[in-house]
Amino acid sequence: DAGITQSPRHKVTETGTPVTLRCHQTENHRYMYWYRQDPGHGLRLIHYSYGVKDTDKGEVSDGYSVSRSKTEDFLLTLESATSSQTSVYFCAISESKAGDQTQYFGPGTRLLVL
Amino acid sequence: DAKTTQPPSMDCAEGRAANLPCNHSTISGNEYVYWYRQIHSQGPQYIIHGLKNNETNEMASLIITEDRKSSTLILPHATLRDTAVYYCIVRVRDDKIIFGKGTRLHILP
Protein backbone atom coordinates (compact mmCIF):
# COMPACT_ATOMS: atom_id res chain seq x y z
CA ASP A 1 0.00 0.00 0.00
CA ALA A 2 1.13 3.53 -0.74
CA GLY A 3 2.40 5.39 2.31
CA ILE A 4 -0.46 7.78 2.92
CA THR A 5 -1.78 8.72 6.33
CA GLN A 6 -4.56 11.08 7.30
CA SER A 7 -5.10 12.77 10.61
CA PRO A 8 -7.29 12.90 12.50
CA ARG A 9 -9.23 9.82 11.45
CA HIS A 10 -12.36 10.99 13.22
CA LYS A 11 -13.40 14.45 14.36
CA VAL A 12 -16.50 16.02 15.83
CA THR A 13 -16.69 19.79 15.84
CA GLU A 14 -19.20 22.59 16.15
CA THR A 15 -20.51 24.91 13.48
CA GLY A 16 -18.35 27.97 13.03
CA THR A 17 -15.11 26.48 14.31
CA PRO A 18 -12.01 26.11 12.12
CA VAL A 19 -10.87 22.61 11.26
CA THR A 20 -7.65 21.40 9.64
CA LEU A 21 -7.19 17.95 8.19
CA ARG A 22 -3.74 16.65 7.38
CA CYS A 23 -2.57 14.31 4.66
CA HIS A 24 0.96 12.95 4.87
CA GLN A 25 2.77 10.85 2.24
CA THR A 26 6.09 9.05 2.22
CA GLU A 27 6.13 8.32 -1.54
CA ASN A 28 7.50 11.68 -2.71
CA HIS A 29 4.67 11.90 -5.26
CA ARG A 30 4.19 15.26 -6.93
CA TYR A 31 0.39 15.40 -6.96
CA MET A 32 -1.89 15.39 -3.93
CA TYR A 33 -5.68 15.63 -3.81
CA TRP A 34 -8.51 16.16 -1.37
CA TYR A 35 -11.91 14.56 -2.03
CA ARG A 36 -15.11 14.39 -0.06
CA GLN A 37 -17.56 11.52 -0.23
CA ASP A 38 -21.23 11.84 0.57
CA PRO A 39 -24.14 9.44 0.06
CA GLY A 40 -25.64 9.92 -3.39
CA HIS A 41 -22.72 12.01 -4.65
CA GLY A 42 -19.80 9.66 -4.75
CA LEU A 43 -16.31 11.13 -4.59
CA ARG A 44 -15.92 14.80 -5.45
CA LEU A 45 -12.68 16.71 -5.81
CA ILE A 46 -12.20 19.66 -3.45
CA HIS A 47 -8.66 20.89 -4.16
CA TYR A 48 -5.49 19.45 -5.54
CA SER A 49 -1.80 20.27 -5.59
CA TYR A 50 0.72 19.75 -8.38
CA GLY A 51 3.75 20.76 -6.34
CA VAL A 52 4.93 22.63 -3.29
CA LYS A 53 2.92 25.85 -3.01
CA ASP A 54 1.05 24.98 -6.24
CA THR A 55 -2.63 24.29 -5.73
CA ASP A 56 -5.85 24.53 -7.68
CA LYS A 57 -9.58 24.22 -7.10
CA GLY A 58 -11.72 21.19 -7.75
CA GLU A 59 -15.44 20.98 -8.31
CA VAL A 60 -16.54 21.64 -4.69
CA SER A 61 -13.92 24.06 -3.35
CA ASP A 62 -16.19 26.67 -1.71
CA GLY A 63 -15.62 26.85 2.05
CA TYR A 64 -12.26 25.05 1.86
CA SER A 65 -8.66 26.17 1.57
CA VAL A 66 -5.48 24.14 1.22
CA SER A 67 -1.79 24.55 1.73
CA ARG A 68 1.26 22.58 0.73
CA SER A 69 4.52 23.86 2.17
CA LYS A 70 6.31 20.51 1.90
CA THR A 71 6.10 17.73 -0.65
CA GLU A 72 4.90 15.26 1.94
CA ASP A 73 2.10 17.28 3.56
CA PHE A 74 -1.17 18.61 2.16
CA LEU A 75 -3.49 20.41 4.56
CA LEU A 76 -7.21 20.97 4.10
CA THR A 77 -8.76 23.76 6.17
CA LEU A 78 -12.39 24.51 6.82
CA GLU A 79 -12.22 28.13 7.92
CA SER A 80 -15.65 28.07 9.57
CA ALA A 81 -17.17 24.61 9.56
CA THR A 82 -20.81 24.17 8.55
CA SER A 83 -23.10 21.17 8.89
CA SER A 84 -23.01 20.71 5.10
CA GLN A 85 -19.32 19.89 5.44
CA THR A 86 -20.09 16.78 7.45
CA SER A 87 -18.55 14.13 5.25
CA VAL A 88 -15.80 11.59 4.79
CA TYR A 89 -12.65 13.21 3.43
CA PHE A 90 -10.09 11.28 1.40
CA CYS A 91 -6.61 12.30 0.42
CA ALA A 92 -4.95 10.85 -2.66
CA ILE A 93 -1.51 11.02 -4.26
CA SER A 94 -0.28 10.53 -7.78
CA GLU A 95 3.01 10.48 -9.58
CA SER A 96 1.19 11.46 -12.77
CA LYS A 97 3.79 11.04 -15.44
CA ALA A 98 4.02 9.45 -18.87
CA GLY A 99 0.24 9.12 -19.15
CA ASP A 100 -0.08 7.13 -15.94
CA GLN A 101 -2.38 9.03 -13.63
CA THR A 102 -3.03 6.32 -11.09
CA GLN A 103 -4.10 7.75 -7.77
CA TYR A 104 -3.57 6.10 -4.39
CA PHE A 105 -5.94 6.94 -1.58
CA GLY A 106 -5.58 7.37 2.15
CA PRO A 107 -7.84 5.75 4.76
CA GLY A 108 -10.13 8.77 5.13
CA THR A 109 -11.20 11.21 7.85
CA ARG A 110 -14.77 11.18 9.14
CA LEU A 111 -15.85 14.69 10.06
CA LEU A 112 -19.07 15.50 11.89
CA VAL A 113 -20.07 19.15 12.20
CA LEU A 114 -22.77 19.72 14.78
CA ASP B 1 -16.25 14.61 -21.01
CA ALA B 2 -16.06 10.94 -21.69
CA LYS B 3 -18.60 9.16 -19.49
CA THR B 4 -18.88 5.63 -18.29
CA THR B 5 -21.92 3.47 -17.85
CA GLN B 6 -21.89 0.66 -15.34
CA PRO B 7 -24.68 -1.53 -13.96
CA PRO B 8 -25.60 -0.33 -10.47
CA SER B 9 -25.22 -3.76 -8.91
CA MET B 10 -24.17 -7.33 -9.65
CA ASP B 11 -24.05 -10.63 -7.82
CA CYS B 12 -21.38 -13.30 -8.15
CA ALA B 13 -20.98 -16.66 -6.43
CA GLU B 14 -17.89 -17.09 -4.31
CA GLY B 15 -15.12 -18.87 -6.22
CA ARG B 16 -16.51 -17.93 -9.61
CA ALA B 17 -15.18 -15.29 -11.95
CA ALA B 18 -16.75 -11.86 -11.55
CA ASN B 19 -17.08 -9.98 -14.84
CA LEU B 20 -17.86 -6.29 -14.44
CA PRO B 21 -18.76 -4.43 -17.62
CA CYS B 22 -18.23 -0.78 -18.45
CA ASN B 23 -19.30 1.21 -21.48
CA HIS B 24 -17.26 4.23 -22.52
CA SER B 25 -18.30 4.95 -26.08
CA THR B 26 -16.94 8.53 -26.16
CA ILE B 27 -13.45 7.69 -24.98
CA SER B 28 -10.66 9.55 -26.75
CA GLY B 29 -7.73 7.82 -28.32
CA ASN B 30 -5.25 8.81 -25.63
CA GLU B 31 -7.45 8.19 -22.59
CA TYR B 32 -6.78 5.27 -20.33
CA VAL B 33 -9.38 3.05 -18.70
CA TYR B 34 -8.91 2.82 -14.93
CA TRP B 35 -10.62 0.59 -12.41
CA TYR B 36 -10.80 1.29 -8.70
CA ARG B 37 -12.80 -0.31 -5.96
CA GLN B 38 -13.99 0.85 -2.59
CA ILE B 39 -14.63 -1.57 0.20
CA HIS B 40 -17.08 -0.28 2.78
CA SER B 41 -15.75 2.76 4.68
CA GLN B 42 -12.25 2.43 3.23
CA GLY B 43 -10.45 4.62 0.73
CA PRO B 44 -10.70 3.71 -2.97
CA GLN B 45 -8.16 1.15 -4.06
CA TYR B 46 -6.49 1.11 -7.46
CA ILE B 47 -6.98 -2.16 -9.33
CA ILE B 48 -5.74 -1.92 -12.88
CA HIS B 49 -5.61 0.32 -15.94
CA GLY B 50 -5.08 -0.02 -19.67
CA LEU B 51 -5.09 1.85 -22.97
CA LYS B 52 -5.63 -0.61 -25.81
CA ASN B 53 -4.23 -3.97 -24.88
CA ASN B 54 -5.63 -6.37 -22.35
CA GLU B 55 -3.90 -6.16 -19.00
CA THR B 56 -3.46 -8.55 -16.09
CA ASN B 57 -2.02 -8.13 -12.63
CA GLU B 58 -2.21 -9.98 -9.35
CA MET B 59 -5.68 -8.62 -8.63
CA ALA B 60 -7.57 -8.72 -11.91
CA SER B 61 -7.64 -8.75 -15.69
CA LEU B 62 -8.85 -5.93 -17.90
CA ILE B 63 -10.30 -6.70 -21.30
CA ILE B 64 -10.75 -3.71 -23.64
CA THR B 65 -12.67 -4.14 -26.87
CA GLU B 66 -10.87 -3.40 -30.11
CA ASP B 67 -12.93 -0.25 -30.71
CA ARG B 68 -12.23 0.78 -27.08
CA LYS B 69 -15.88 1.57 -26.48
CA SER B 70 -16.24 -0.89 -23.65
CA SER B 71 -14.21 -2.91 -21.21
CA THR B 72 -14.63 -5.70 -18.69
CA LEU B 73 -12.90 -6.13 -15.37
CA ILE B 74 -12.45 -9.76 -14.43
CA LEU B 75 -11.84 -10.99 -10.90
CA PRO B 76 -10.89 -14.60 -11.64
CA HIS B 77 -11.87 -16.26 -8.35
CA ALA B 78 -14.10 -13.94 -6.37
CA THR B 79 -14.02 -14.11 -2.58
CA LEU B 80 -16.20 -12.47 0.04
CA ARG B 81 -13.49 -9.85 0.48
CA ASP B 82 -14.13 -8.69 -3.09
CA THR B 83 -17.52 -7.30 -2.06
CA ALA B 84 -17.17 -3.61 -2.88
CA VAL B 85 -18.19 -0.80 -5.20
CA TYR B 86 -16.19 -0.94 -8.43
CA TYR B 87 -15.54 2.22 -10.40
CA CYS B 88 -14.67 2.37 -14.08
CA ILE B 89 -13.06 5.70 -15.00
CA VAL B 90 -11.93 6.88 -18.39
CA ARG B 91 -11.96 10.62 -18.13
CA VAL B 92 -9.05 12.36 -16.46
CA ARG B 93 -9.01 16.09 -16.99
CA ASP B 94 -5.89 17.86 -15.90
CA ASP B 95 -5.00 14.94 -13.68
CA LYS B 96 -8.38 14.92 -11.95
CA ILE B 97 -10.31 11.70 -11.66
CA ILE B 98 -14.06 11.99 -12.10
CA PHE B 99 -15.82 9.21 -10.23
CA GLY B 100 -19.23 7.94 -11.30
CA LYS B 101 -21.57 5.82 -9.19
CA GLY B 102 -19.89 2.50 -9.92
CA THR B 103 -21.14 -1.08 -9.63
CA ARG B 104 -21.90 -2.58 -6.24
CA LEU B 105 -20.62 -6.15 -6.41
CA HIS B 106 -22.08 -8.66 -3.98
CA ILE B 107 -20.20 -11.93 -3.56
CA LEU B 108 -22.57 -14.65 -2.47
CA PRO B 109 -21.32 -17.49 -0.23
| Rounded percentage of chain B residues whose pLDDT exceeds 70 | 93
For residue B38, how far is the Cα from the chain centroid? 11
Residue B1 has pLDDT above 90, yes or no: no
Reported as a single tens digit per residue, the pLDDT across A63-87 is 999 999 999 999 999 999 999 999 9
The mean pLDDT of chain A is 92
- Count CA within 13 A, CB hemisphere, residue A33: 27
Query: Quick one: which of A17, A20, A16 has its CA closest to A77?
Result: A20
Confirm or reject contact between A5 and chain B (CB < 8 A).
no
From chain B, the residues in CB contact with A93 under 8 A are none
Work out the minimum CA distance from B86 to partner chain A, whole angstroms: 12
